[in-house]
Amino acid sequence: MDSTVDKGETLFVCGGCNAKMGPGKLENLLKDLHQDKQPDVMVDFETTDDAAILKVNDDTAIIQTIDFFPSMVSDPYIFGKIAAANALSDVWAMGGTVVSALNIVCFPQEMNQNILKKILQGGLEKVTESGGFLAGGHSIQDQRPKYGLSVNGIVDPKKILRNNTCNSGDDLILTKPLGVGIITSAYGADAVSKEAFDGAVESMTTLNKYASEIIKEYPVSACTDVTGFGLLGHLNEFLNGKHSAVLNATDIPILPSAYEAADELLVTGGGQRNRKFLDGKINFTFDDNALEEVLYDPQTSGGLLFSIDPQYTDEVLGKLNKLSLRSARIGKVVDKEDKEITVN
């Protein structure tokens, strides 16, 4: 626990995107749920994309998304910032601009109300930073605090970024380092340093707005944000059963101490669910269980993963790496192979 936080105003730690249902369960739940197609609904849950998109006219479409979860940090103010940054991210992953947001709050009636005030303050600051307006929200009594946002954005219908439209030969670029799930869990067990935890917090509270503003200048073929399904789970969706990917392990950015924590078996339940779902789809060409855990690790407010023609890679990375967090080319999209993803 952060020593600067009043012990009476802290949160129980076991949440973030690690608390989300595994992809296998979601797939089974949703496969039989269908509605008649509406002509103005451009994107819905059937494509497992980051948000819904509804066309208003030839120049404007609405992006609608929602995300909330229990805390993965003890500091309520930091939790509010992380949860808001995570919820806002879906708009940028689809090439849009944030317009408005509504709070979603679950909170125990008997708990210190100042904790909730700090959560909401952190969320408000991130919505303000996003350029959007926090217009209200909804709260219910619950035994465990949970927080997030319902977010609306706008996008040009001709410039929507999808999560399943990559091309063979594209480079794959990731805009944040991996390992926040492992680090926050390990920090709660006093197994990693405060410095390592602070690095994870910096990553989780950094808005994907800034990376999105850069990549919108380029002909990106597909984009998503890396959250609860981990890098490999979201990349699996990204490939859409039509392509495969080859990743270069040494090029993948990883937060300091995440690999070491994974090597000590300080891993997450969400990571194990992701591993189980992807069984048989991943080819690791070398033996490194710790690295595997980092690649399966659920990311809370993770970076953008996008694909682009290699002729633009150096230029876009040059701009991205002027931001506070390191971006990297992590591999390539290739023609369909026996395994969805190969990690060299």
Binding-site residues from annotation for Mg(2+): 50, 90, 225
- The Cα 174–Cα 195 span in angstroms is 23
Q: Are 109 and 99 within 8 A, CB to CB? A: no
Helix (H, G, I), strand (E, B) or coil at 25: helix
Q: Which residues pair with 254 in a beta bridge?
A: 178
Binding-site residue ranges for ATP: 20, 47-49, 67, 90, 137-139
Nearest to 108 by CA among 72, 70, 77: 70
Structure tokens at 274: 């992701």
Structure tokens at 319: 């701009």
CB atoms under 10 Å from CB of 274, counted, come to 26
Query: Residue 31: what are its φ and ψ, rounded to 5°?
Result: -65, -25
- The Cα 118–Cα 106 span in angstroms is 14
Angle at 15 between CA 279 and CA 26, to 5 degrees: 40
Binding-site residue ranges: 20, 47-50, 67, 90, 137-139, 225
State which H helix or E strand residue 233 sits in: helix 230-239
The angle, 0 to 180 degrees and rounded to 10, between the axes of the packed helices 180-188 and 269-277 is 150
- Is residue 223 part of the annotated active site? The answer reads no
Torsion of CA 228, 197, 294, 129, to 10 degrees: 40
Q: Are 171 and 329 within 8 A, CB to CB? A: yes
- The Cα 186–Cα 297 span in angstroms is 13
Q: Which of 14, 17, 106, 166 is catalytic?
A: 17
Active site residues: 17
